[in-house]
Structure 1
Amino acid sequence: MAILALMVVLVGVRMALAPLTRLRRAIRERDPRSLAALQLTLPRELEELKHALNELLSRMRRVRANQERFIGDASHQLRTPLAGLSAHAELALRQQDPSAWHAALAQMQATASHTAHLANQLLSLTRLNNPEVQPPRVPLELSSLVRDTVSRHFLRCDRAGVDLGLEIAPDIDHAAWTPGVDWQLQEALANLIDNACKHGARVVTVTLSRADLVIHAALDLPEIRPLLQRYSREHPGMLLHYVNRSALALEARYLAAPLTPRADLMISSAMGLQYRLANGGHARPLQAANLTGWPESSRWRNELFAMSFEPIVMVARRDALKRLADSEGLRDPRDALRSHRDLWHLLETRRELLRGRVITYDPRRSGSGFTYAVSDARQSPRYWTLVRAMGQADARLVTTTGAMLEALANGEVDIAYNLVGPYAISFARAHPELLVIVPEDYVLIQRRLAFVPRQAPHGDAGEAFLDWWLSLEGQQAVASDSDLGALHPEVSGDGSARDLRERLGNALRPIEIGPGLLATLDRLKQASFLSRWALEFRAPAPVSAPTLSGEPLAALSGSPVAARCSMRRSVPS
């Protein structure tokens, strides 16, 4: 009985698989060159499979037709110039006069250039006409793409007597982003240039100036580029312009024409300057959901918003830490420098070893350096002893985090103090000889502040970008694509506010967003603070006392970015 049942099952399975067997036989027996649709009757269950196969064959027929059309077009279009090349070569071979050879070679070179140009056009045409190939649209930096395309056509246009020029608005140079396919845009622009030259234009100027969203920021492009690219991908068709300036230049440019600003969003690490502008009525109140729901400690009213959570760190060379640890009898080189107190201790006890090997901001010439110095003085009564110790060790003074990092990488110094965390972390990835140190006693936290100007030409676009940045999606992008430090309480990861709070707890000292920021801009208080700083550091007074009130600092007028300050004993300690 069991055997009979088994035979029935086998027969049933065989009958059920018979349509698949027919389909397999039909495919196997086909001419490999045939792309005709499958014509056989199958059960309803296999009809969908047959339709899918026929659709694939249909797409392959279109691809083949496109290839055949390209081969036909190429054969037709290239036949004439190739015949011309052959004729010029044959004519040159019959000549004995070198000048005739030169003329023939010149004609051959022109024909070869024309043929290469024609071949490129044919290839581009077949790529555009291929219905099965849809290249992905990626964020492109338009000014670079346009500049490269114009450069490639410049000599050819010049030989033809055409003056080919390029005008790119300064505010968007190297910062105009839009989704697209690079070769398609290049070909489109190349065709425009060709047509202008061929139809009688003697002067051709390519201009790039349109803007959908303009962001002015004191934030280096490499740190924000991945986020701009992500936003551009999510908003196809939008041309995004990004302009990077120093914090002081950012405010100065804005105040030069506050009623006609070019920016739709202003971002800066100079918290006092941003607060002053917002407090002065320059910021537009925003109502987007993520903005009104942002924690009160990270915004001022609904006008000024914190966008990042950036620790102010120290960076040291690993080999220098090893030497210092050995001199201190420490096994782990990292134990030599974990806090502000450790730095003071090393400067006091290993002064000769570190003479001229420490670098930090000059608060007299750097807005950021001044802010960090004031914040340090508020956080720790030891700050002034640390300043004195740095002066006695002939510490070098610079105006940017980048200058400190370069000096470390070049081996000119061993320890850098008060650097912007994201810049230092990003730089250290490419320089494993450097170690980023987040102080354990207290950590200043800088937060870049953003606002939409009241007279922004595309204020809604600026608000939409800021709303995206502070959304959960945007903050996850900040955490994954940058080192700026995500603020959102639900976002974790290295460098996020949540991660730093879990690791350092009460050691974090975020610079508060409020009226206290204005105190750092008061001229009398600035002068008093800088006078004491110079006294403690034993450095010569600057030629002119720069301020943070919108007047340019020396660093903006071409002064050296670094100064070596030797110890002066004109005042007793």
Structure 2
Amino acid sequence: MKPFSLRRRIFALAVGLLLLASLVLIVFIRDYAERAADRAFDRLLAASALTIAGAVQVEAEAVIVEIPFAAFAMFSGQDRVFYAVEDPYARTVTGYEDLAAHMPETVSGEPHFSDLVYREDLVRVVSVGRLISTPSDTGWVTIHVAETQNQRNSLANEILSNAVLPVIALTFLAVGLVWFGITRMFAPLTQLEQDLRARAPDDLSAITVPVPSEVEHLVSALNGFMARLRNAMERVSGLVAEAAHEVRTPLASLRAQAEVAMDEQDPEALRRRVGRIHTGAVQASQLVSQLLMEATISHRLENQDNDATTLGAVIDDVRQRLDPDQASRIQVDLATGAGTAIIRGDRVALREMMRNVVDNALVYSSSPVEISGTLGAGRLEVIVQDRGPGIDASEKTMVLERFKRGATSAGTAGSGLGLSIVSRVVEAHGGQLSLKDRDGGGLIVAITLPTPKRSSAVPGLAMALILASALITLPPQSVDAATSVHAAPDGSTEKVLTIFGTTDTPLFEYFIAAFQDLHPDTGVIYEEWDSRPLYENYLAGSLSALPDLLISSASDLQLKLANDGYAQPHDSPFLDALPDWAHWRNEVFGFTFEPAVIIYNPDLITGAEVPRSHLTLAELLETQTERFRGRIATYDIALSGVGYLLAAQDQTISSTFWRLASAFGRVNAQFSGSSPAILNGVADGTLALGYNVLGSYAFARQAEGANIEIVVPDDYVLVLTRSMLIPRDAGHADLARAFIDFALSPAGQAVAAGPTALGAVVPDGSGDWTSEAIAARGRGVIQPIPIGPGLLVALDTLRRQRFIDTWQEIVSPKP
């Protein structure tokens, strides 16, 4: 093959890669500059539109808006700005009518961006919807804000130009540095070549020439190879020398016996000669076999082959290689666990170790050979006992050397290699070998080998302690918490998932059972709380244990925990199927679809007078105050996190919210911290009607036969999703991630759409309670409560306190 220049190849490849990288980098920078400019200006556009949306009001069923100063103050002043506000009937309330004519109506509160040629300029338009409720109807107000793109193009070009010039300069500089570096890089290799050429053929010592760190691994590998080659040569030389010394004597004896036998005339004497020749041949054959096996084991131990086997398998392997009459003399008695204990090492070497010990016992003893084994803390002890002549105490160390035999072996064929092989194998596996005298005569060979550590011991103990404490010595909990323990179906105790949530335990047990069907090795501890106490106690660090997963129907509180850095991220493979409104980043995940509904007792309210909207409910309470005094219930928003979330969203959407709150005050409405309490009151007739009850609980109770009827409002329907997050201090985050994946998977969504009636949030599912089936039960606008930073506004301390104070002043007026 024609030689080539490695230096030129590297230089040409490096220059080509540098040029290609520069081109790719310029393209990337151009794309990044455009995307960065778009992101920056799109955020300004969205902020402007949302500011206008926040100023939308309804007076006398007419939409009015006073454009805030801040809505346009955020623009640069170098671009033209256009805007339009349309009412639910597509009539322009204010702004540019021709802009509104070019844009479709928006029925979402999320900003939607598009490009449009408007008044001979390419403009970027953002459209935002604002859901409003009037006494006669519910609809969407649409806000459009448009801006020409001169400034964003200027920003993109500025980013590109400021980045391209340094890229070009660095490319030329890099080419020069590559050439200089390649020249310098090959200099140490020349010195290494000269050192190797100057060596003698039998010089296998390590290379000591200083080399760069990049070549150091090559030199280390070369030194390692030469060291192995030197060891192999020394081993072969030693083996040849020892074999020549040890084999010379039996071969010479065989030759002499054969020569004498050739001249022997007496048949009996000839037979004796042939017998001695046969004995010598057997001894020589055994010696050669032992020498070859010793060489094989030395090679395998140097290669550090690492298999996993058991003591029982090693003993069975040895027995199968013996004659049947010899194998029948072996008696095996292994303690519990000893036969199946894992031994890590070379399987062939361990087999030959045991074979040599057993062969010696069979050769030097005519009685049964006993093999026993015991398993201790990280150690496996194997004992082989015989009734042979034994070994003198002064010879016990000597017989472990190669070609050394004790005085009691005289007259018995042997090579003197068996015990030396045993000693080498035991030492290579980190064990211990001892030779002891047996009471009553005989020899005891005791071999102790290490067993692998089992990492599951500590988790198993921890699981046992957790379950024991939960089942036997569970400390008293807060009145807000109730604990249930679900052991792993397969009986294992290594894995425990601790969940703190607000879902009623009987409902959540459906999820636990389905999860454990897929993960039978996982136990689950579930502690039920109310939403607000769960949030506050977690922040205060006063929960009874560190949860691995937090689940709450108050998604705003969950979002705040994540926003404040208390959540771990998780890239679930099912995240793409989840609606955008039902998760925030990869930290908060919604998994249910639960509308806020009105429930009533059909014995106390007739079907004809049932309020079907928020306005008709207010009118009913205003006109029949005495009838419903003390018999209407809703959430106590000061105590219930989900109650405050729903009330805050009601106030944002509905222009009749405070009128309804005033009606609650007139009838002395009852306030509760949870849906089940309201459901119980309506079902037993203590209450006539419950407002903003979670539909999931209502549907489930109705299916059980409770005396309640359910109204999905005809004007608008608030829908929340029960959300999950992994706390940053979770002890078993891997189990929490597995549960999130299960809850978002088709199997978990089938549970939500099934007997729990919590509702499947992932579209196109199957079951009685899919999001599509729930939405079809009413005629109102479905308004999901999106999990996003917008929820943080209502959680502002002053804003929340003012809202609660106003609510309490209206619903609980002082006399």
Q: Does the TM-score normalized on the shorter chain lie above 0.5?
A: yes
Q: Is 2:241 aligned against 1:241?
A: no
Task: Give the Cα–Cα distance (whole angstroms) in 1 for the partners of residues 618 and 542 of structure 2.
Answer: 45
3-state DSSP of counterpart to 1:239: strand
Structure 1 position 245, deviation (Å): 1.3
* Pairing 1:439–2:710 present: no
Task: Provide the C-alpha distance between the structure 2 equivalents of 1:359 and 1:293, rounded to a whole number of angstroms.
Answer: 37
Q: Decide whether the 8 Å contact of 1:321 with 1:337 is kept in 2.
A: no
Matched, 1:403 2:677: yes
Q: CA deviation at 1:178?
A: 2.7
Task: Decide which of 296, 319, 322 is 2:580's aligned counterpart.
Answer: 296
Deviates more, 1:498-507 or 1:466-475: 498-507
Deviation, structure 1 residue 309: 0.9
Q: State the shift of 1:478 in Å.
A: 1.8
Partner of 2:810: 536
State whether structure 2 residue 505 is matched by structure 1 residue 221. Answer: yes
Structure 2 CA distance for partners of 1:439 and 1:230, relative to 1, 3 Å: same
Q: Give, as a single letter, the amino acid of the residue that structure 2 aligns with 1:481.
A: P
Aligned ranges for residues 136-535 of structure 1 at < 5 Å?
166-168=472-474, 174-180=483-489, 212-257=496-541, 262-291=546-575, 293-322=577-606, 333=607, 336-504=610-778, 507-535=781-809
Q: In 2, distance between residues paired with 1:473 and 1:379?
A: 35
Letter in 2 for 1:317: N
Structure-2-length-normalised TM-score: 0.40
Tell me, in whole angstroms, the C-alpha distance in 1 between the residues paired with 2:776 and 2:512: 29
Partner of 2:13: none
Pair 527,379 (structure 1): closer, same or farther in 2 beyond 3 Å: same
Query: For residues 537 and 259 of structure 1, do their structure 2 counterparts lie closer, same or farther at Cα, with a shift above 3 Å needed?
Result: closer
CA offset at residue 357 of structure 1?
1.9
Change (3 A) 1:506 1:458: same
When residues 338 and 259 of structure 1 are mapped into structure 2, their CA distance, relative to the original with a 3 A threshold, is: closer
Query: What is the deviation of 1:475?
Result: 0.8
Letter of the aligned partner of 2:484 in structure 1?
Answer: A
Q: Which runs of 5+ in 2 are unaligned?
A: 1-463
- Whole-angstrom distance in 2 between the partners of 1:353 and 1:259: 43
Q: Please say if residues 360 and 398 of structure 1, whose CA atoms lie closer than 8 Å, have aligned partners that are also in contact.
A: yes
Equivalent pair of 1:223/1:423 in contact (CA under 8 Å):
no
In structure 2, what is the Cα distance between the partners aligned to 1:383 and 1:449?
26
Return the offset for 1:168: 3.7
Q: Which has the higher contact order (CA 8 A, sep 6+)?
A: 1
Q: Closer, same or farther in 2 for the Cα pair 1:180/1:398, shift >3 Å?
A: closer
- Report if the CA contact (8 A) 2:500-2:529 is conserved: yes
Question: Take 1:249 and 1:362, find their aligned partners in 2: how far apart are those partners?
Answer: 13
Residues 248-287 of structure 1, C-alpha deviations (whole Å, 9 max, x = no match):
2222332234999721211111112110111112211112
Question: CA 1:251–1:174 in structure 2 vs 1: closer, same or farther (change >3 Å)?
Answer: closer
- Alpha-carbon displacement from aligned partner over 1:265-322 (angstroms, at most 9, x marks no partner): 1111111211011111221111231135533221111111111111111110101122
CA apart distance, 1:447:
1.1
Instruction: Find the residue that maps to 2:719 and give its secondary structure.
Output: strand
Shift of 1:485: 0.6
CA contact (8 A) 1:211 1:241 kept: no
TM-score by length of 1: 0.56
RMSD of aligned Cα (Å)? 3.2
Structure 1, unmatched stretches of 5+, are: 1-141, 151-165, 186-207, 323-332, 541-567, 569-573
What's the CA shift for 1:504?
A: 4.2
**What is the alpha-carbon distance in structure 2 between the residues aligned to residue 362 and residue 173 of structure 1?**
21
Q: Does the CA-based 8 Å contact 2:579-2:761 persist in structure 1? A: no
Distance in 2 (alpha carbons) for counterparts of 1:394 and 1:259: 35
User: For 2:754, what is the secondary structure of its paired residue?
Assistant: helix
Aligned residues of 1:261 and 1:456 also touching (Cα < 8 A): no
Counterpart AA for 1:275: L
Question: Is 1:254–1:261's contact at 8 Å kept on the other side of the alignment?
Answer: no
SS in 2 for 1:481: coil
* Higher share of residues assigned strand: 2
Give the Cα separation in 2 of the matches to 1:429 and 1:176. Answer: 27
CA–CA distance in 1 between the matches of 2:510 and 2:748? 12
User: Quick one: distance in 1 between partners of 2:544 and 2:611?
Assistant: 49
The CA distance in 2 between the partners of 1:334 and 1:427, in whole Å, is 23
Give the direction of change, closer, same or farther, for the CA distance of 1:170–1:458 in structure 2 (3 Å limit): farther
The separation in 2 between residues aligned to 1:251 and 1:530, in whole angstroms, is 18
Cα distance between partner residues in 1 of 2:496 and 2:557: 26
How many matched pairs?
Answer: 349
- Higher CA-based Rg: 2
4+ residue stretches of structure 1 with deviation over 6 A? 145-148, 169-173, 258-261
* C-alpha separation in 1, matches of 2:509 and 2:493: 20
